[in-house]
């Protein structure tokens, strides 16, 4: 699992890793997306 702030770089990295034969996954939306989702769930 790879991640970055926005998900753009981690998506590119996961693509490259997959092409190299690894099972790679990127955190969709990055860390900012994860934080936004948590805020929605907490009602912030």
For the four alpha carbons of 39, 42, 34 and 5, in that order, the dihedral sign comes to positive
30/39 Cα distance (integer angstroms): 15
pLDDT, one tens digit per residue, over 1-44 is 999 999 999 999 999 999 999 999 999 999 999 999 999 999 86
Task: Give the total residue count for the chain.
Answer: 44
pLDDT at 44: 60
Domain ranges of the chain: 8-42
**Of 19, 24, 40, which Cα lies nearest the Cα of 10?**
24
pLDDT at 43: 83
pTM recorded for the entire structure? 0.78
First to last CA, the chain: 27
């Amino acid at each position: 699992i790879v991640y970055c702030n926005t998900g753009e770089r981690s998506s590119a990295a996961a693509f490259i890793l997959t092409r190299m034969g690894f099972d790679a996954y990127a955190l969709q939306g990055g860390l900012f997306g994860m934080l936004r989702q948590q805020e929605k769930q907490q009602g912030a």
